[in-house]
């Protein structure tokens, strides 16, 4: 099992809002970074840190954290947002040099 | 532009070793870490470790300690990941990625990725 837990699958109607969550003890101290992966492609970072979007990522993507849970919110989901989403942060060992990915959430846009 | 280009697919027998390369271009190689992440077929991402390209320091996930070695060749801006004593469950796509350091709460963000290298372990 992973130090970071994600729901395996989430669906959202086109144009609606969806929240993808990531739970873990390390998130009480550190932020999560979020990656989107489409089939047969390398992951792409969509949110990092408190709530930062890399250049080229639409502003419908946002991030937040509360307690031991980090969230990625897509406001007005589009068909091209379908894919797998992974959170990434420190593991629970207490060594801030160790990293871990969540198990991933498959997002379907209906 | 920043690019990470990985070596081609490999087929190995159980017990063998594999060494995957990751050639970086478009940025100062020594200024960013390189991390390695793998993905078994139909599975999620698994962090393996990282190497500080400036001083060669490494940090490996506990699962891989003793079996993995990450190195760099700064003369060619290339990072390497060697995995030994291969088993069938090591069959995966192996990615390298550049890590950019942010604040302590954010840590490293993997902002550029290689295309992935499929390693198949089969007798």
List the single residue in B37, B44, B106 with the smallest CB-CB distance to A31: B106
pLDDT above 70 coverage of chain B, percent: 100
Distance CA A77, CA A82 (A): 9
Q: Is the pLDDT of residue A97 over 90?
A: no
Task: Give pLDDT, residue A91.
Answer: 87
Neighbour tally for B76: CB within 10 Å: 11
pLDDT digits (tens, 9 = 90+) for A11-43: 999 999 999 999 999 999 999 999 999 999 999
Distance CA B117, CA B79 (A): 13
Judged by CB atoms within 8 Å, which residues 25-54 of A form the interface with B? 29-31, 33, 35, 37, 42-45, 48-50, 52, 54
B42 CA: distance to closest CA in chain A (Å): 10
B92 CA: distance to closest CA in chain A (Å): 12
Q: Is the pLDDT of residue A1 over 60?
A: no
CA angle, B101 then B94 then B17, to 5°: 120
pLDDT above 70 coverage of chain A, percent: 98
Tokens at B79, concatenated:
């990072």
Distance of CA B102 to the CA centre of its chain: 20
Do A104 and A10 touch, CB atoms closer than 8 A? no
In the block, tokens 């207490």 appear at A94
């Amino acid at each position: 099992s992973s130090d970071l837990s994600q729901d395996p699958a989430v669906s959202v109607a086109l144009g609606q809002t969806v929240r993808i969550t990531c739970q873990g003890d390390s998130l009480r101290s550190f932020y999560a970074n979020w990656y989107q992966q489409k089939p047969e492609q390398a992951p792409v970072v969509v949110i990092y840190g408190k709530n930062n979007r890399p250049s080229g990522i639409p502003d419908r993507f946002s991030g937040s954290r509360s307690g031991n849970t980090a969230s990625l919110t897509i406001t007005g989901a589009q068909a091209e947002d379908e894919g797998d989403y992974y959170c990434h942060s420190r593991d629970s060992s207490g060594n801030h040099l160790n990293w871990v990915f969540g198990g991933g959430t498959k997002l379907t846009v209906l | 532009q920043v690019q990470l280009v990985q070596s081609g697919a490999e087929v190995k027998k159980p017990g063998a070793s594999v060494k995957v390369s990751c050639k970086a271009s478009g940025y100062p190689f020594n200024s960013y870490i390189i991390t390695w992440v793998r993905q078994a077929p139909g599975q999620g991402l698994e962090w393996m470790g990282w190497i500080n390209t400036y001083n060669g320091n490494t940090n490996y996930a506990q699962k891989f300690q003793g079996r993995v070695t990450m190195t760099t060749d700064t003369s060619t801006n290339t990072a390497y990941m060697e995995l030994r004593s291969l088993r069938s469950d090591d069959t995966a796509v192996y990615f390298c990625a550049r890590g950019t350091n942010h604040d302590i709460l954010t840590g490293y963000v993997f902002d550029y990725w290689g295309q992935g290298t499929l390693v198949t372990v089969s007798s």
